[in-house]
Amino acid sequence: MTSRRSLLAGGIGLGVAWAVTGAYGLSWPAHAAAPGNGAVAHTDAQWRTMLTPAQYDVLRQAGTEMPFSSPLDHLFAAGRYDCAACDNHLFAASTKFDSGTGWPSFFEPLPHGVAQVSDGSLGMQRTEIRCARCDSHLGHVFNDGPRPTGLRYCMNGVALRFVPSGQAPQAKGVEKQT
154 is catalytic: yes
Q: Identity (one letter) of the amino acid at 71?
A: P
DSSP 73-115: GG---SEEEEETTT--EEEEGGGEE--SSSS-EES-PPTTTEE
* 155 neighbors 104 (Cβ within 8 angstroms): yes
Task: Return averaged pLDDT per consecutive 10 residues of the chain, 178 residues in all.
Answer: 44 41 38 48 94 97 96 97 97 97 98 94 90 96 96 98 81 41
Q: What is the pLDDT of residue 56?
A: 98
Q: What is the pLDDT of residue 40?
A: 84
Among 83, 86, 131, 154, the active-site one is 154
CA atoms within 13 A on the CB side of 76: 7
* 159 neighbors 69 (Cβ within 8 angstroms): no
CA–CA distance, 123 with 129 (Å, rounded to integer): 18
Q: Domains in the chain and their CATH numbers? A: 30-164 (2.170.150.20)
